[in-house]
């Protein structure tokens, strides 16, 4: 999926030419008035060439047909790349046999019914085998290890490891389970271990894979609002130039400079915006193709276009800006306790802690004092973390334990036991919070009851309990995020971090990452309100999400990117789906959208400047005999009037071919202000579009003037 196709390979050319020829049908071209008019001109000149055969008339007709073919070739080639991707997806999608569950008693009860795992085993489900194409929405199917998931759906019972490489291209398996935001599965993926019960969420032919195939091959591509607006402008310009040429014919005849119909057709074709008219569809198709290459499925071209206009970007903190797991960065003793001894006890208490935070504590201690010999903790009893106690640790003996946990919880426990909490403890905890971190307090409990028990069970010696120090846990900002946010700022995009953390912590992380603004202690309603506020201020808003609670905000955002691992509700609410489920992909999506808009604008500028330059070739050639004063405009000193006109027509056709790779690849985008981008566009494509015809037409004139004697 993510691999790109090489430009103009032999296989692609072979497949593209027949499609391009079919697109030359008037029924197809009438949808593109600019090129349809060129085809009418080609037919007209061909009739003239047949009735009044000359080398000039046949040459004009031939190159007008070539202009039409090159235009359809550009669109066909862009579609061909999408069809190649669609064919690859079709090969990965096979018709499978589904095990549809006929009795839903166990499904209804589910794993939360108190039933044992044996009662909920696959063997107890009543199933029937049906082709996957016969599955309807709301059907429930059983999928075991080694079987292919027959349709899109949500896991409602069980958990399994799933190979999604057929969709994402990523070989690493992922876990899909019921009861959370990781319940969605895609038809065509394969269960590697365990089993799941899946509820189908789409009607036949409307699966995720079906929609993806339709979009990448262009069958379901709808022209975007900007593309439609530009098409309207091109059509209006074409109509204006048609009227101008029609008026020119009698005017020229009245002034004794009657023009050959061949020349008038050539003038019309060179004046109308054929270059951008020929490439417009290819630019749009290629933009969608680039998005697919990044493993992102856009539900419409409108979403891709909107991404290019985004001015506010909403990003979750956890997993997007930060690595997702807090990491220990420091251990601070209090009350004069020895640093090395504290590190030893912290390390010892975390040896059985398999949480990311616990593993990071062990790693930090090992970096300071080395690995702990196994005999130090082999026979010790460890205290597991629970939501009730909010602490974990290790029992060193029947009378002594080392615990670590939430600052408030640990300090309260020590005080209830009559123990010692050094005065600087709260200062250290507050300092860590203000720095955007999380504080874990480490304590030694003497003759204390089991965590969670009644503190009144403490013995007389419990007063010897004391706080030893504080562990500083920190959200680690992902590598490169500071630079990416700087780039976004240069693009004129305001970034907002959304987090459930308190205001102090959120502000500290936002400052470190370089985020422009922050929404702390965020709720779904607050996310939605923020999006509406930004939109009311005239901003285009983009955000990511994966849960059902994100669905309202995803639907409200101008660009809502749902994670493929998320719920069906989230994917249906968004207008894009990221197959890799990488929230930072939103930044790349914005770049692709901007590249699409810039490419379309740049080639439009080039095309119009191109047309202006061709005036200097054709107009003097048409009237120089009747009006010798026009020789001053013949700055290219072309060989003859017929050579000048034919050279302009040939150049008009060949420039389309020259620009096809740029239309497919896209104009390179570098973050800059709107004014800087405009200056660059005018300098490169405006000036370049004006100069190129002078060089190209002169070279062609030298070839045909000296070689053919026209």
Catalytic residues: 316
CA angle in degrees (0–180, nearest 5) for 166-170-174: 90
Residues 6+ apart with CB under 8 A from 214: 86, 220
For the chain, how are helix, strand and coil distributed in percent, rounded to 5? 55, 15, 30
Q: Where are the alpha helices (DSSP H) in 272-336?
A: 274-293, 301-308
What is the distance between the alpha carbons of residues 71 and 14, in angstroms, rounded to a whole number?
17
What is the distance between the alpha carbons of residues 338 and 674, in angstroms, rounded to a whole number?
58
Nearest to 316 by CA among 580, 577, 585: 585
Structure token pair of residue 121: 């085993």
Tokens 């697919």 sit on residue: 292
Check residue 148 and report its DSSP letter: B
Indicate the burial class of 321 (C-beta count within 10 angstroms; 0-12, 13-18, 19 or more).
buried
- Let me know: does 617 contact 647? Beta carbons within 8 Å: yes
Check residue 24 and report its DSSP letter: T
Structure token pair of residue 69: 């073919």
Strands 541-545 and 312-316, how do they pair?
parallel
How many other β-carbons are positioned within 10 Å of the β-carbon of residue 607?
A: 24
What is the distance between the alpha carbons of residues 627 and 260, in angstroms, rounded to a whole number?
16
Nearest to 608 by CA among 233, 302, 349: 233
Per DSSP, which regions of 479-516 are E strands?
494-498
> What strands lie across the sheet with 437-446, from one edge to the other?
322-333, 466-477, 437-446, 400-406, 391-395, 381-383
CA torsion sign for 248, 254, 257, 258 is positive
Structure token pair of residue 87: 């064919």
What is the distance between the alpha carbons of residues 551 and 76, in angstroms, rounded to a whole number?
37
- Let me know: does 562 contact 579? Beta carbons within 8 Å: no
Residues 6+ apart with CB under 8 A from 708: 55
- Let me know: does 29 contact 278? Beta carbons within 8 Å: no
Tokens 């209090």 sit on residue: 334
Tokens 């310009």 sit on residue: 237
Nearest to 35 by CA among 218, 227, 272, 285: 272
What is the distance between the alpha carbons of residues 414 and 546, in angstroms, rounded to a whole number?
41
What is the distance between the alpha carbons of residues 370 and 603, in angstroms, rounded to a whole number?
62
């Amino acid at each position: 999926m993510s691999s790109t196709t090489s430009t103009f390979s032999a296989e692609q050319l072979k497949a593209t030419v027949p499609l391009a020829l079919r697109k030359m049908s008037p029924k197809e071209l009438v949808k593109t008035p600019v090129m349809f008019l060129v085809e009418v001109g080609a037919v007209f000149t061909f009739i003239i060439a047949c009735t009044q055969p000359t080398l000039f008339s046949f040459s004009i007709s031939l190159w007008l047909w070539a202009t039409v073919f090159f235009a359809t070739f550009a669109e066909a080639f862009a579609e061909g790349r999408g069809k190649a991707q669609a064919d690859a997806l079709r090969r990965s999608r096979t018709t499978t046999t589904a095990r549809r569950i006929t009795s839903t008693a166990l499904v209804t009860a589910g794993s939360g019914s108190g039933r044992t795992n044996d009662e909920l085993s696959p063997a107890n489900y009543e199933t029937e085998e049906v082709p996957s194409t016969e599955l309807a929405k709301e059907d429930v199917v059983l999928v075991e290890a080694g079987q292919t998931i027959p349709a899109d759906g949500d896991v409602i019972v069980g958990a399994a490891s799933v190979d999604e490489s057929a969709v994402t291209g990523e070989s690493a398996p992922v876990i899909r389970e019921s009861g959370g935001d990781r319940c969605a599965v895609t038809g065509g993926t394969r269960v590697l271990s365990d089993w799941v019960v899946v509820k189908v969420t789409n009607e036949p032919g409307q699966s995720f894979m079906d929609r993806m195939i339709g979009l990448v091959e262009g069958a379901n591509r709808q022209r975007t609002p900007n593309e439609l607006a530009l098409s309207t402008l091109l059509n209006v310009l074409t109509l204006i130039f048609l009227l101008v040429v029609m008026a020119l014919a009698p005017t020229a005849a009245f002034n004794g400079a009657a023009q050959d119909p061949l020349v008038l057709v050539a003038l019309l074709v060179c004046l109308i915006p054929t270059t951008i008219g020929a490439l417009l569809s290819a630019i749009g198709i290629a933009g969608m193709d680039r998005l697919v290459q990044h493993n992102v499925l856009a539900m419409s071209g409108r979403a891709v276009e909107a991404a290019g206009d985004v001015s506010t970007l909403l990003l979750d903190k956890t997993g997007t800006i930060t690595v997702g797991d807090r990491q220990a960065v420091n251990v601070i003793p209090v009350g004069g306790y020895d640093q090395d001894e504290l590190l030893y006890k912290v390390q010892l208490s975390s040896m059985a802690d398999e949480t990311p935070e616990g593993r990071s504590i062990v790693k930090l201690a090992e970096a300071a004092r080395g690995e702990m010999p196994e005999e130090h903790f082999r026979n010790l009893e460890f205290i597991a973390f629970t939501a009730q106690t909010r602490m974990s640790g290790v029992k060193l003996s029947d009378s002594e334990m080392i615990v670590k946990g939430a600052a408030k919880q640990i300090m309260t426990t020590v005080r209830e036991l009559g123990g010692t909490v050094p005065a600087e403890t709260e200062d250290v905890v507050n300092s860590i919070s203000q720095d955007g971190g999380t504080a874990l307090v480490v304590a030694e409990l003497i003759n204390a009851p089991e965590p969670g028990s009644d503190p009144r069970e403490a013995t007389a010696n419990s007063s010897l309990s004391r706080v030893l120090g504080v562990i500083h846990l920190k959200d680690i900002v992902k590598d490169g995020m500071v630079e990416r946010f700087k780039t976004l700022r240069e693009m004129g995009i305001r970034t907002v971090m959304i987090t459930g953390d308190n205001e102090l912590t959120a502000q500290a992380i936002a400052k470190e990452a370089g985020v422009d603004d922050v929404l702390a202690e965020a709720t779904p309603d607050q996310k939605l309100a923020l999006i509406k506020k930004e939109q009311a201020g005239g901003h285009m808003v983009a955000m990511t999400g994966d849960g059902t609670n994100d669905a309202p905000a995803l639907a409200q955002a101008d660009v809502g990117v749902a994670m493929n691992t998320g719920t069906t509700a989230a994917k249906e609410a968004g207008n894009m789906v990221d197959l890799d489920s990488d929230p930072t992909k939103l930044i790349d999506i914005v770049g692709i959208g901007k590249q699409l808009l810039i490419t379309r604008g740049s080639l439009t500028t080039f095309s119009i400047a191109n047309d202006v330059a061709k005036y200097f070739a054709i107009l003097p050639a048409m009237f120089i005999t009747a009006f010798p004063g026009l020789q001053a405009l013949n700055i290219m000193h072309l060989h003859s009037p017929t050579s000048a006109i034919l050279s302009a027509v040939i150049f008009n056709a060949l420039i389309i071919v020259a620009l096809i790779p740029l239309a497919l690849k896209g104009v390179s985008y570098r973050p800059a202000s709107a004014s800087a981008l405009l200056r660059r566009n005018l300098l490169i494509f405006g000036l370049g579009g004006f100069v190129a015809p002078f060089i190209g037409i002169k070279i062609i004139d030298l070839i045909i003037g000296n070689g053919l004697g026209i």
